[in-house]
Amino acid sequence: MSARTVLRCLAASLALSLATTPASAQKTHKPVLYGKHWVAITGKPQGATAGAMMFQRGGNAVDAAAAMLAATATMWDVLGWGGETQALIYHPEQKKVIGINALGVAPSGATVDFFREKGMLYPPEYGPLAAVTPGTPGGLMVMLAEYGRLSLAEVLAPAMQLAAGYPIEASQAAFIESKREILAQWPSSARVFLPHLDPAAPDTRAAPATGEVFRQPDLLATLEKLVATERAALASGKNRREAIMAAHERFYRGDIAREIVRATREAGGLFTEEDLATWEVKVEEPVSTTYRDIEVYKLTTWTQGPVMLQTLNLLEGFDLKAMGHNSTRYIHTLYQAMNLAFADRDFYYGDPAFPPEEPIQGLLSKDYAAERRKLMPADRNLTDLKPGNPYAFQGGSNPFEALRQQWTPVPPAADAEGADSFQQALHMSPDEAFLAGTTSIQAADAEGWVVSVTPSGGWIPAFIAGDTGIGLSQRMQSFVLDEALNPYNVVAPGKRPRVTLTPSLALKNDRPLLAFSVQGGDTQDQNLLQFFLNVVEFGMNVQQAAESHSILSYQMQSSFGAHQAEPGRLEVTHRVPPYSRAELERMGYRVEVVERTYNPVTAIWFDHEHGTLQGGASDYGDDYGIAW
């Protein structure tokens, strides 16, 4: 054996030993949260405090989740009140998982021709034309009315205190200042976000300073209107649910709706009063698969959630634990499985309310996964794959087979007139777009209620609708205009765009095992997949799994901006040793070493042996939890 071969074997042995470090030996920056009665976790410390306040008032996990949602929307934690909410709720009495679809829809007039005539490749990434109808207020009120026990006034109280004024964080203050040119276009947004704006002094700071009390009187007035409506309904003899839904009625069909429509249309948007009046929250059945003996639940194809289920079906055919955590073979296997699943996401996922219905039965078929698994090469990165044909596994024919055969992983250059100017107008870099949006919320209590939420939309730079203080969604950009890219996700009035937002619940032996979600855009199900495997394959506790370094693929199409894809691009951290990086590059990957990949996971694990709850929040950002 040559000296070079000996050194190569030693390097491989060292890489494997590093990759298989026992979970028990891994230290964490944050402690595990241990709770007997409840756990509340979200993207901001103040948000987690709002959840804890609801538990202390006698509320359940749904009340706590709703309060955290209201607080983080008020703090603009990569979402605003006019964004969208999607949730999974475990109902302990019914012993089932319930899906909450509070995603807005494209307004009247939002057609392919409308955007094409403006020379756009996709709907814009911000502003009035980027907005779908507000979903978060409706989602919060429906969840609370149907499954909570507190009043709307109690749940909104922390958010109302925040709207009255709170000391703004350094990161948020700096981000607002960085977006001042966009925000200054809209007087209502400038009034809220740029209190020091002086057109005569363009070089002076316009945004609040770090620690300055940030006040939102218009938003506070809107929340007060909702609470007043609930109070009046209760005084008139309405019950708790009816009173909350009276506030819902005022938001979507009363004076609040009229002001949202007026302000949006005045600024060039498309909303009509009918768009808001006819929109409704959908309480629906989630989809699921089994991995080993664990049931994993996601929302269906109007989100990207099923992509994780598809990936788990593919990975079930491998001994991942034997490969070693973040070993060369493990990374390659995960990447290839994600390639196949995300190609299906990019072509087949969309709003199931619009025909033809997405082939979800075939996509989640174990037989389909077995067939697709045969395409996974052992020694190279596959960059020219196409979506599969799941219709063959649900007894149907593919209505878009010709488009499938022509599909390419990298979107073709569009020939829309004015395309160049549209590209130049993008204000997010491809990486910013790929990671954009969202916070996450987890709540659980001793009675068995469990909630996982991934709300988003209405992030800064948000267009604020007139005097409402409501920052509107930017989710229209996730539609496509060309059916060759995804025939199920072409923009149309009343349609929901396919979003990246993906709460997660896992059950074992018909009892909750994990509630988990993560901030971010297209990275979400990559992060959640690796978090889940960290727990169930490598024995990490919930905090170790949340802090563990992950990999990121950019091979799938971004759901934002110009929808770029970068086949072969792979981000790893320094914990992946040089030998493994060299092997991955030899296999066709473009490996980038970063200090930390984006993975702000939040999660709750259920210790049924001891009857307790364990919470975890990544050390990546501001995510924070409280347990009792």
Q: Tens digit of pLDDT for each residue in 111-170?
A: 999 999 999 999 999 999 999 999 999 999 999 999 999 999 999 999 999 999 999 999
Beta strand 590-594 with 569-573 is parallel
- pLDDT tens digits, one per residue of 363-407: 999 999 999 999 999 999 998 889 999 999 999 999 999 999 999
* Coil/strand/helix, residue 97: strand
The 8-class DSSP code of residue 95 comes to: T
| C-alpha to C-alpha distance for 195 and 477, rounded to whole angstroms | 29
**Residue 562 confidence (pLDDT):** 86
In terms of Cα–Cα distance, which of 382, 397, 308 is closest to 344? 308
In terms of Cα–Cα distance, which of 516, 71, 571, 26 is closest to 294? 516
| C-alpha to C-alpha distance for 497 and 499, rounded to whole angstroms | 6
Q: How confident is the model at residue 436 (pLDDT cuts 50, 70, 90)?
A: low
In terms of Cα–Cα distance, which of 68, 74, 84 is closest to 474? 84
In terms of Cα–Cα distance, which of 254, 59, 78 is closest to 156? 59
The 8-class DSSP code of residue 129 comes to: G
Q: How confident is the model at residue 421 (pLDDT cuts 50, 70, 90)?
A: very low
Neighbour tally for 502: CB within 10 Å: 27
Structure tokens, 165: 């004024």
Res 415 pLDDT > 50:
no
* Coil/strand/helix, residue 49: helix
| C-alpha to C-alpha distance for 45 and 446, rounded to whole angstroms | 22
| C-alpha to C-alpha distance for 518 and 620, rounded to whole angstroms | 11
Neighbour tally for 167: CB within 10 Å: 12
Indicate the Cα dihedral angle 186, 187, 188, 191, nearest 10°: 120
Show the CA angle centred on residue 566, arms to residues 571 and 622, nearest 5°. Answer: 45
| C-alpha to C-alpha distance for 360 and 230, rounded to whole angstroms | 40
Average of per-residue pLDDT values in the chain: 92
- pLDDT tens digits, one per residue of 246-263: 999 999 999 999 999 999
